[in-house]
């Protein structure tokens, strides 16, 4: 079953890359920043780090914490647990705004407007959800 999930995730990654997807879009209140830039988005490699104030751990079918409240202007960083399966951070309001399909590394978004931003894993759907509240 795990092999099938990996194959499906790889196929989805190829489709997203072919369509120019990935971290596209810029919904109101969210700033996209390039990988490798402090506060940037996308895969930065590496493994899990310590849990910071505005950090969400991504693990086997969970985000921890699953709900996080931050100040407007804060950058939230999702950190993948080491040696995990592939997951994404995909925003419900605009599913083109998402992390890469990845099993390690980080993804970050800066929230510039107050609001509630629900997200899920594109692979695990309703079994893996979270919410950021910016106020």
Domain positions in the chain: 2-134
Residues 87-125 have pLDDT tens digits of 999 999 998 899 999 999 999 999 999 999 999 999 999
Q: Kind of pairing, strands 67-70 and 62-64?
A: unpaired
Class at the top of the CATH hierarchy for domain 2-134: mainly beta
So what's the pLDDT on residue 52? 64
pTM for the model stands at 0.64
The pLDDT score that the predictor gives to residue 73 is 96
- pLDDT tens for each residue of 61-91: 999 999 999 999 999 999 999 888 999 999 9
């Amino acid at each position: 079953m795990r092999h099938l999930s990996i194959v499906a995730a790889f196929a989805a990654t190829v489709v997203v890359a072919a369509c120019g997807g990935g971290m596209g879009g810029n919904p109101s209140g969210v700033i996209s920043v390039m990988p490798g830039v402090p506060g940037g988005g996308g895969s930065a490699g590496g493994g899990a780090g310590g849990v910071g104030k505005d950090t969400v751990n991504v693990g086997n079918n969970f985000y921890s914490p699953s709900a996080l409240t931050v100040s407007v202007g804060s950058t939230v960083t999702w950190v993948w647990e080491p040696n995990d399966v592939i997951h994404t951070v995909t925003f419900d309001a605009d599913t083109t705004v998402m992390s890469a399909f990845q099993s390690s590394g980080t993804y970050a978004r800066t929230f510039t407007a107050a609001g509630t931003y629900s997200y899920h894993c594109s692979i695990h759907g309703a079994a893996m959800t979270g919410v950021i509240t910016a106020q």
